[in-house]
Amino acid sequence: MPRLLRPLTRAVTYTRWLHMVVTVILPLVLALVFPGLVDPTPADWLLIYLQPAPLLVLLGVLVPAVRTAEGLQARLMLFPGPHARDGSGRAGDDHGVSAAPSASWNDRMRTVVWLALRLEVGCAVAMVSNLLAGLCLSLVGAAFGDPGVSSAFRMPGTAWWYGLLAVLDLAVLLAFVTAAGALMAWAARALLGPSAKERLARLEERTEQLLERNRIARELHDSIGHALTLAVVQAGAARAAGDARFTEQALGAIEETGRAALEDLERVLLVLRDPERPAGSRPGLGEADRLLESARSSGARVDAEVAGPLDTVAGPVSREGYRMLQEALTNAVRHAGSLPVGVRLAVEGARLRIEVRNPLPEAGAAAGLRGGGTGLRGIRERAALLGGEASAGPEEGLWVLRVDLPAG
């Protein structure tokens, strides 16, 4: 389709036209009171166009919700979207137009300028549309032998070529309306676009969403990674042992580990599906025994020491501490196998301390652990977010992970 004819097929062309023309209703209603619409002079028409301006200024300044109403109208009628698709059929978005009430004097002033511009452009578009539509009607009438169809425009005689002028008249009208609609769309972005405060709020909301996605990713990594690691270790140990009784015990442990992983996965998915779900539904350090037993069932010899009242640890710290301990035990089982693992959970004053020790099987393993994969990086990130710190590294033939967190 030729580019010049494309506006004819775009619904947004006509919604923009309607958005501009509908503003003439207010001036006409006021004109019925004064100065009247019977034989108005040019001065009367000027007054008709200008007299709604003070009312619009008051509305824009005194009623913050006016900006909301204007923003919603602009979104719906000035831009292509699900309500008005463009020529390619792709839906758009709000195109940078805010639908929030005025929150500052800057917002109020921009709203006032928008209302005044919409009024005057709307009146101009309505007047030009009326004149060109009347002219087109007269040209069509003259082309078919009736030059007096419109009283405003009487053609001198009749001729077939008046029909060509009618097409040209419609093209001019369409070009004018399209240009005026583009002007109003640009003005809507400039005058009804989000303020600095709204942009900051959107940025904060986006940051919160990214943090939540990152937290959910860590939850899945810790829970599923822990379960799969233990299952792999248990399955490998059962195959190497070649003992029916040990294999049965390993299968039972794998079953229990898988069941616990499914419960954790369900918890995470429930939080993902229902953002209002309380975070307390996630496991905390009060359930640390489950992690220790799971590690023992994989063949690791876990020696645990618990000191201090874990139940006094704040909920967020307890839940994050549980995940850190889970990741630490996963790493210990993965790299130390059946070697002894020492775990210490202690509440000392206002601090929560977590320590996990396991022997380094070989120098190469220590080098690999020193790289601090995603698991150790996740532990450090969790600790930093809680205002604590985490460190990990070899000490006298042992790999030691220490986490220090505020308990309250």
What is the per-residue DSSP string for 59-84? HHHH-THHHHHHHHHHHHHHS-BTTB
Q: What's the rounded mean pLDDT across residues 218-240?
A: 73
Radius of gyration in angstroms for the set of CA atoms belonging to the chain, rounded to a whole number: 36
End-to-end C-alpha distance for the chain, whole angstroms: 68
Residue 19, C-beta contacts closer than 8 angstroms, at least 6 positions apart: 73, 74, 77, 78, 122, 181, 184
What global pTM score does this model have? 0.56
Question: Residue 345: helix, strand or coil by DSSP?
Answer: strand
Rounded (5°) CA angle 392-220-390:
20
Q: Quick one: pLDDT band at residue 151, thresholds 50, 70, 90?
A: low
Q: Is pLDDT at 166 greater than 60 in this prediction?
A: yes
pLDDT value at residue 344: 92
- What digits encode the pLDDT tens for the residues 284-334? 888 888 888 877 876 778 889 988 888 888 888 888 888 888 888 888 877
Q: Which residue has the higher pLDDT, 201 or 283?
A: 283
Could you say which DSSP state residue 104 is in? S
> What does the pLDDT read at residue 371?
41
Residue 272 pLDDT > 70: no
Confidence of residue 45 (pLDDT cuts 50, 70, 90): confident
Specify burial of residue 321 (Cβ count, 10 A radius: 0-12, 13-18, 19+): buried
Selected residue with higher pLDDT from 242 and 340:
340
Q: Which residue has the higher pLDDT, 355 or 361?
A: 355
Q: How confident is the model at residue 178 (pLDDT cuts 50, 70, 90)?
A: very high
Rounded to the nearest integer, the mean pLDDT of the chain is: 81
- Looking at residue 100, its pLDDT comes to 86
Q: In the predicted model, is pLDDT for residue 366 greater than 70?
A: no
- Model pLDDT, residue 85: 43
Q: How confident is the model at residue 213 (pLDDT cuts 50, 70, 90)?
A: confident
Which of 116-125, 176-185, 315-324 is the least confident region?
315-324
Please tell me the predicted confidence (pLDDT) of residue 197: 74
271 pLDDT tier (thresholds 50, 70, 90): low
* pLDDT tens per residue, range 230-256: 777 777 767 777 777 777 777 777 777
Q: How crowded is residue 28: how many other Cβ atoms within 10 Å of its Cβ?
A: 13
For the ranges 24-28, 60-64, 264-268, the lowest mean pLDDT is seen at 264-268
Q: Residue 1 pLDDT > 60, yes or no?
A: no
Could you read off the pLDDT of 85-99 as tens digits, one per residue?
Answer: 443 334 445 578 888
Q: Over 80: is that where the pLDDT of 26 sits?
A: yes
State what percent of residues in the chain have pLDDT above 90. 29
Reduced to 3 states, what is the DSSP secondary structure of residue 37? Answer: coil
Low-confidence winner among 80-84, 207-211, 357-361, 371-375 (lowest mean pLDDT): 371-375
Residue 147's pLDDT is 74
The DSSP call for residue 396 is T
- Give the pLDDT confidence score for residue 280 in this predicted structure: 47
**How many Cβ atoms from other residues are within 10 Å of residue 325's Cβ?**
25
**pLDDT score of 273:** 67
Please report which confidence band the pLDDT of residue 129 belongs to, taking 50, 70 and 90 as the band edges: very high
